[in-house]
Amino acid sequence: MRFGRTVGGVLLLCVIGCGEEGQGRFGPALQPRPEKQTCLPDPSQPMPARLSDTGCFTKLDPLTPGPDLIPYEVSSALWTDGAFKPRYMVVPSAERIKIAEDGSWGFPDGSVLIKVFGFEFDAGDPESRRPVETRFMVRNDGQWDYFTYEWNDEGSDGALLDSRKTVAYTIAGSAGTEVIEYLFPQPDDCTTCHFESIHEVLGPKTSQLNRSHDYGGVVANQLVAMAEIDLLDLGADGMIEPSAQPQMVNPRAGEGNLEQRARAYLDANCAHCHRPGVYADTALHGLDLRYEVPLHESGLCEPMRYFPAWAGMPRVAPGNPAGSGVVQRFILEDAQRMPSIGTSVVDPFGAALLRDWIAGLPSCP
């Protein structure tokens, strides 16, 4: 599947169908970017106190994205205590995202990344869904700033927070109730994972976005769709071939083999810290959990470091999940659990996935 963009009024290539002029091939869910940006940012203005004043949503109940917002999905999502998380990006109409050789994405000034967090308060009942938080990353003057809004109980608006807070949410399920101690971060909490020295944007990268998305009834590859609205800097030829790009599997959809699913899960939940150049003087040193790194180069086959209780325990012991440090840190019920921020309950899917992978692993190179 290939798609070209328009250069100098000439369409380079279009082999998968084009919509009516002015409508966009994907209908109202993905329109050409408006010339005037209404969803922030005006660097001269402070972040609005109310979510409804950001200009990013035309309506909050139900949540309706404004014309600037481009929806996207990632293949392997970070676990946040079971929250559902709609994601959007905004890029000024005259600008494009630059894609580095390693697949990371560089966003221009004026860009906004938005993630909405919410819960299904009666498990299995979609009508019980409501948002609790909306986070913003706003890029100006070559740097990202972080903001978060807490939604009111009615789901009608959100208030800008200036400090960290924790709220207990009760989720009703078939097995009883579960209390989630949900953390609303302050800006310096965000930089625990979003490192300026490495890369601050985590989810939007080629391997994570090289997948299909439902644009309101039209399903298409996200890279192709983004190329159509001239969102990506594709170089001189203006082409993108999804099959030639890195692609991460979706662990929860059962894509790929067991090792690919486990490595995709570790990438999304752990690799923002466990990678070269981050916290090099701590236990993170020597552990590289990025999806594309081969197992024998990842450090997973080495012993635990700087954790006295399990000194010498293999991070991954083939055939022995109970003897593997990665599993043990993941299922802890205290402050030593990994990931160290952003969750209050263990992900049962993730724990089972890591156990199954290690149980079936014949050797660790």
pLDDT of residue 14 exceeding 70, the answer is: no
Interval 137-150 mean pLDDT: 94
pLDDT tens across 191-208, in order? 666 666 556 788 999 999
The pLDDT confidence band at residue 342, using thresholds 50, 70 and 90, is confident
Interval 18-35 mean pLDDT: 64
Exposed e or buried b per residue across 12-45, where buried means at least 16 C-beta atoms within 10 angstroms of its C-beta:
eeeeeeeeeeeebbbeebbbebeeebebbbeeee
pLDDT tens across 291-307, in order? 999 999 999 999 987 77
The pLDDT confidence band at residue 239, using thresholds 50, 70 and 90, is confident
pLDDT of residue 211 exceeding 50, the answer is: yes
pLDDT of residue 24 exceeding 60, the answer is: no
The pLDDT confidence band at residue 16, using thresholds 50, 70 and 90, is very low
**How many whole angstroms separate alpha carbon 233 and alpha carbon 236?**
9
Q: Which of 24-33, 39-48, 80-89 has the highest mean pLDDT?
A: 80-89
Find the Cα–Cα–Cα–Cα dihedral 324, 327, 333, 339, rounded to 10°: 120
Cβ–Cβ < 8 Å for 327, 321: yes
Higher-confidence residue of 339 and 13: namely: 339
pLDDT score recorded for residue 13: 34
Q: Which of 14-23, 92-101, 170-179, 222-231 comes out lowest in average pLDDT? A: 14-23
